[in-house]
Amino acid sequence: MEGKENILRITPKSSIEVENEEADENGQNDPIHVLNDFHKFLSIRANYHLGYPFHIKYEDSDTMAPLLQFHLNNLGDPFVDRNYGLNSKQFEVAVLDWFAELWDIPKEDYWGYITNGGTEGNLHGILIGLVSKRELHPEGVLYASQESHYSISKAARMYRIKLETVNALVTGEMDCQDLRNKLLLNRGKPAIINVNIGTTFKGGVDDIDLIIKILEECEFSEDQFYIHCDAALSGLIIPFLNDVPNKVSFKKPIGSVCVSGHKFLGCPIPCGVQITRKKHINVLSNNIDYIASKDLTISGSRNGHTPVFMWYSLKTKGHKQLETDVHECLKRACFLKDQLKEARISCMLNEFSNTVVFEKPLDDEFVLKWQLSCKGDLAHVIVMPTVTTENLKMFIDELKQSRLSWFQKGSFYPSCVEEEIGEENCDCDAHF
């Protein structure tokens, strides 16, 4: 392993303190020096980032940098451009139009905005679901699988609504039989359903068509349910693959979809897109004089730079480059899975996913170095466009090397992960 101080090094805490009393002979406390140091640190750390679905290096920073001189604020409704003029709402609407087309909803029928990320999209989608069904019955019930992102249970707590946690299959996908049972327990109350298009940990995709069928079978009519699709990561993967059985589309009875802009698309600042049906949105607010518009968003002031970043990425990549990125990432994910299998390391890769789940490394330092995200006995690597084959090879070699020392000690053995990833993927001594 490379020197730990090299990889995890951070600028001395004392130079980062805002008010520093110490004498500064070498100019260490000079803010420019501290920033240069930080830049160096990031350049190194970016090579060891495998666990989170972020696009960690942005190539067009020089192009975008001049815009940072201005305070861009897209306050309020993107479709109402009124008093505050330094905004990028035209870019925002262009991005929204692109996503509306991707998800089959005509311009005149949708409403949406650029959020701070997937969480805000989820909070917004679930809020619309709840409020739009309130007339029917004051108590809506939120259904989400146990593999849902933590922002879903946060929404339930914030809005004080009942959350029915639905079981998940080994793939991470919602167990629709369990959904059926739970719907039948709450007949007569509106069902707000969070559908995962790529779960956070395993990249599992819920079967949206089956969910709709089960709602019908349980006699929930279309005005009694609201489906929000959390497509944070896979929302920009699935549309570019052939043969995916149940794609997101507003031709189906869904209410909203959100996707992150800093994940697959690659913006350097957290952001996301939320699209819903125009007919749902008016329940949220009346006119607010101060902003000369309706208050339909979660945040008031909104980042005006991120819409331009998203627009630039879409404009320069287009469908074609995104499609190439998707196929390349899935290919590299397969490569990683095959290499792990060959080394007899328990692992799983879902179809249509760039998330490789595998046995959690035993050494915390290793986990920190590679910035892995772990859950129980598992860890995952998400093969993003910025993760190269060289990165993966280096990772695999180091993992294999480290395992020799972890397991040589004799008191540790790879855990059995049959329950989490299935018998065919588990390579523990009992299942090999």
Ligand X SMILES: *Cc1c(COP(=O)(O)O)cnc(C)c1O
Catalytic residues: 353
Closest separation in Å from C-beta 154 to ligand X: 10
Closest separation in Å from C-beta 241 to ligand X: 17
- Residues contacting residue 220 through CB under 8 Å, at least 6 positions apart: 183, 191
306 touches ligand X by CB under 6 A:
no
Report the C-alpha gap between 98 and 88 in whole angstroms.
16
CA dihedral 333, 337, 339, 344 (to 10 degrees): 170
309 CA to centre of own chain: 17
Considering only 200, 306, 339, 353, the residue that binds ligand X (CB under 6 A) is: 200
Closest separation in Å from C-beta 196 to ligand X: 6
Q: Among residues 76 and 117, whose Cβ is nearest to ligand X? A: 117
Contact region with ligand X (CB under 6 A), list: 194-202, 281-289, 305-313, 397-405: 194-202
Closest separation in Å from C-beta 356 to ligand X: 15
55 touches ligand X by CB under 6 A:
no
- Do the beta carbons of residue 386 and residue 48 sit within 8 Å? no
Considering only 112, 270, 307, 361, the residue that binds ligand X (CB under 6 A) is: 270
Report the C-alpha gap between 15 and 28 in whole angstroms.
6
Residues from 218 through 257 that contact ligand X (CB under 6 A): 230, 232-233
* Coil/strand/helix, residue 192: strand
151 touches ligand X by CB under 6 A:
yes
Q: CA of 335: how far to CAs of 329, 356, 371, 392, in Å?
A: 10, 10, 20, 9
Closest separation in Å from C-beta 123 to ligand X: 9
Give the tokens for residue 414. Answer: 């790879």
Count of chain residues binding ligand X (CB under 6 A): 15
Q: Among residues 113 and 220, whose Cβ is nearest to ligand X? A: 113
Strand partners for 141: 162, 191
166 touches ligand X by CB under 6 A:
no
260 touches ligand X by CB under 6 A:
yes
Considering only 133, 149, 189, 280, the residue that binds ligand X (CB under 6 A) is: 149
Closest separation in Å from C-beta 147 to ligand X: 9
Q: Among residues 329 and 345, whose Cβ is nearest to ligand X? A: 329
Please provide the DSSP assignment of 340-361 as one string. Answer: HHHTT--EEE-TT--EEEEEPP
Q: Among residues 112 and 118, whose Cβ is nearest to ligand X? A: 118
Q: Among residues 149 and 189, whose Cβ is nearest to ligand X? A: 149
- Do the beta carbons of residue 222 and residue 253 sit within 8 Å? yes
Q: Among residues 196 and 425, whose Cβ is nearest to ligand X? A: 196
Side-chain half-sphere CA neighbours of 147 within 13 A: 23
Report the C-alpha gap between 45 and 113 in whole angstroms.
33
Closest separation in Å from C-beta 118 to ligand X: 2
Q: Among residues 140 and 270, whose Cβ is nearest to ligand X? A: 270
Pairing of strands 287-288, 293-294: antiparallel
- Do the beta carbons of residue 94 and residue 325 sit within 8 Å? no
Report the C-alpha gap between 339 and 121 in whole angstroms.
36
Closest separation in Å from C-beta 301 to ligand X: 18
Residue 40 carries which side chain, given as an amino acid letter? K
Q: What is the CA radius of gyration of the chain?
A: 23
Place of tokens 């990028």: 88
Report the C-alpha gap between 314 and 335 in whole angstroms.
28
272 touches ligand X by CB under 6 A:
yes
Give the tokens for residue 116. Answer: 């701070």
Residues from 104 through 133 that contact ligand X (CB under 6 A): 117-119
92 touches ligand X by CB under 6 A:
no
Q: Among residues 165 and 415, whose Cβ is nearest to ligand X? A: 165
- Do the beta carbons of residue 212 and residue 245 sit within 8 Å? no
DSSP state of 236: G
What are the residues binding ligand X (CB under 6 A)?
117-119, 149, 151, 196, 198-200, 230, 232-233, 260, 270, 272
